[in-house]
Amino acid sequence: MRFILVASILASSLILSTAQGQQGKERYAPNEIAMLPDYCQDLMTDYGKARRKWASVLGPTVDHTHHYCRGLIKMMRAQRLFSVPAQHRRTYWSSAVNEISYTIRNATPDFVLLPELYYKRGISQSNAGKVKEAEADFLRAIQILPTYDIAYVQLAGLYRQYGRVDRASEVVSKGLEHVPESKVLRDLQSELQRSNAATKASRRTEPPSVGATPIETPADGGQTGEATPQSK
pLDDT in tens, 29-61: 999 999 999 999 999 999 999 999 999 999 999
Whether 216 shows a pLDDT value over 80: the answer reads no
| Residues 90 and 129: beta-carbon distance below 8 Å | yes
Mean pLDDT of all residues in 106-115: 97
Under 8 Å CB-to-CB from 119, ≥6 apart: which residues?
A: 137, 138, 141, 148, 150, 151, 154
pLDDT in tens, 136-187: 999 999 999 999 999 999 999 999 999 999 999 999 999 999 999 999 999 9
| Residues 122 and 141: beta-carbon distance below 8 Å | yes
> 96, 106, 14: which is closest to 60 by C-alpha?
106
pLDDT in tens, 58-73: 999 999 999 999 999 9
Whether 220 shows a pLDDT value over 80: the answer reads no
Q: How confident is the model at residue 88 (pLDDT cuts 50, 70, 90)?
A: confident
Provide the pLDDT for residue 115: 98
Q: Give the domains, in start order, of the chain with CATH numbers.
A: 28-142 (1.25.40), 146-201 (no CATH)
Q: Which region among 90-99, 112-121, 200-209 has the lowest average model confidence (pLDDT)?
A: 200-209
What is residue 88's DSSP assignment? H
